[in-house]
Amino acid sequence: MNISLDRLIRGAKEGKIISFPTDTVPGMATIPTKAELIYIAKQRSLDKPLILMGAEPESLWEYVKGSDQEYEIWQEVVNRYWPGALTLVLPASDKVPRVMNPQDPTTIGIRVPNHPIARAILAQTGPMATTSVNLSGKPPLETQAEIAVEFPDVLTEELIEYKGLGVPSTVAKWTENHWQILRQGSIIVG
């Protein structure tokens, strides 16, 4: 459903599912406490966690926990690659709703996209539970028209071009004292 940006943000704050462009593929999002709506809409298995996307790194740190030394390491990576197509999987704090990662609520993927519209929306909504816009197992949708057909109840902004790089983010998981690459995208962590 195409609406104005103000209505999109209002709908997001009310717990509706929204879609917006990112630097990779268009994102489907809702407030973290309503994340189950994404699983239902996408027909997504509960063993596939969602990620938490924010406008700035500072908006995401309260959702993770680690030692001072770990935060320093994570901050170095963030300073180098964010905003950008890198999702970091880190130990989750108690603030993360279990529905974000039902099979392993001890971790959460976080990301700051390198897209001005995505960041403008996230700056007003706060961090959002996100994933690509597609039915589970299908390729990500790339245009508003495709999204409107597949997900008619998902709110989209009427004047935004949705096409990104078309390559999902690199996913790097912090494991004790090093990074494990779970999915290679456009960013090479090193």
Count Cβ atoms below 10 Å from residue 182 Cβ, excluding itself: 12
DSSP assignment of 80-92: HH-SSSEEEEEEB
- Stretch (H or E) spanning 5: helix 5-13
Which pLDDT band holds residue 186 (cuts at 50, 70, 90)?
confident
pLDDT tens-place string over residues 2-57: 678 899 999 999 999 999 999 998 999 999 999 999 999 999 999 999 999 999 99
**For range 96-116, the mean pLDDT:** 95
What does the pLDDT read at residue 1? 66
Whether 167 shows a pLDDT value over 90: the answer reads no
Whether 160 shows a pLDDT value over 80: the answer reads no
For the CA atoms of the chain, what is the radius of gyration? 15
Residue with tokens 């104005």: 4
pLDDT tens-place string over residues 72-93: 999 999 999 999 999 999 999 9
**For range 117-137, the mean pLDDT:** 95
How is the chain split into domains, by residue range? 5-161
What is the DSSP pairing of strand 128-132 with strand 27-30?
A: antiparallel
What whole-number distance in Å separates Cα of residue 140 and Cα of residue 143? Answer: 10
Q: For the whole model, what pTM was predicted?
A: 0.93
Residue 155, both tokens: 């709110």
Mean pLDDT computed over every residue of the chain: 92
Class (C level, CATH) for 5-161:
alpha beta
